[in-house]
Amino acid sequence: MKVLVTGSAGFIGFHLVKKLVESNVNVIGIDNINNYYDVELKLSRLKYLENQSQNNYKFFKLDICDYDLLKKLFEENKFDVVINLAAQAGVRYSIKNPKTYIDSNLVGFHNILEMVKLFNTNHFIFASSSSVYGLTENIPFSLNNVTDLPISLYAATKKSNEVMAFSYSHLFNIKTTGLRFFTVYGPFGRPDMAYFKFVKAINNDEIIDVYNEGNMLRDFTYIDDIVDALEMIIRNPPKNIKHRDSESTAPYRIFNIGNNKPIELNKFIQIIEENLNKKAIRKNLPMQQGDVLKTYADISELINEYSYNPKTSIEDGIKKFISWYINYYEGDSK
């Protein structure tokens, strides 16, 4: 099996490639290495993968917005599975930099869809987001919830990905799986995420910004649980199914991937404090534009289909992240 992972220098992409390479899968990774956050961290991920691989992994610096280069890559490789994790991330960043999201998350995503169609890829998997649920009050977030009221452009692009992918699956019978990720965290994580900022600031005796006084719920999901689910999904593409309120039987599925155990942000901060043996210096702030009060994944479909079982508690996950953080930034691992 030959797999293409876009966004392979990103957080989830890096861990997925690592797991696939360890499982002796042939992987090609692509990434544009943009500077949305620390480029050195992305390069460290790539260096780790390069050192680990046994001639079953290749990386190319390539932007999915570049149609011609993308087509050349597909012409030279027959991919059994394409996993699109390349996207401009970040809810707040999308408010100030909307064009970046249109380019990467819409134009780039369409380019990938075209390649999957043109070169008859067996299974297409793509990253969506829990952000598509917007301000819904139906808890936990179910796949039956309405998701047509996004409150950020980032969320709107992710919802657009879902409907674009469905149309291609329906029209061209492409086996397609979309994944709504819920607050993924862990080693080599994204520095723009709250948990990363909190650990850095508390460790350095700096102020942390706590929105809505910490009265928010998040379904934090450890990266290893995400990758375990992805590996199962890769090997089991969806079959044609009847889609509700339609005549379509496209081989298309959407799943929530979360921990199914949301915790309050204040509790999350407390766990970090206990692991660092330091108290946070807090600056309480109101809710930010585009943010949501709670995320909570209903993962029953993923359990029923793949026997998915997230194993990592928030206590163990934070402990592992902080251990990596201290080693990476204060040790000799870079």
154 is catalytic: yes
Average pLDDT, the chain: 92
Bridge partners, residue 207, by sequence: 281
User: Cis ω on the peptide bond leading into residue 140 (within 30° of 0)?
Assistant: yes
Amino acid (1-letter code) at residue 24: N
Structure tokens belonging to residue 61: 């610096």
pLDDT for the residue numbered 334: 46
Q: Give the chain's end-to-end CA distance (angstroms, integer).
A: 32
290 pLDDT tier (thresholds 50, 70, 90): low
Least confident among 108-122, 164-178, 284-298 = 284-298
The model's pLDDT over 108-141, given as tens digits with 9 standing for 90+, comes to 999 999 999 999 999 999 999 999 998 887 889 9
pLDDT for the residue numbered 332: 57
The model's pLDDT over 194-208, given as tens digits with 9 standing for 90+, comes to 999 999 999 999 999
Distances (CA, A) of 297 to 133, 139, 141, 221, 263: 10, 8, 5, 10, 12
Bridge partners, residue 285, by sequence: 211
Least confident among 89-93, 225-229, 281-285 = 89-93
Structure tokens belonging to residue 331: 């040790």
The model's pLDDT over 238-258, given as tens digits with 9 standing for 90+, comes to 988 878 777 788 999 999 999
pLDDT for the residue numbered 134: 87
228: Cα separation from own chain's centroid: 13
Higher pLDDT residue, 218 or 161? 161
Query: Is the pTM above the cut of 0.85?
Result: yes
Mean pLDDT computed over 270-293: 89
Neighbour count for residue 267 (Cβ, 10 Å): 12
Domains and CATH numbers, the chain: 2-182+223-258+296-310 (3.40.50.720)
Q: Could you say which of 37, 57, 93, 154 is catalytic?
A: 154
The DSSP annotation for 1-43 comes to -EEEEETTTSHHHHHHHHHHHHTT-EEEEEE---SSS-HHHHH
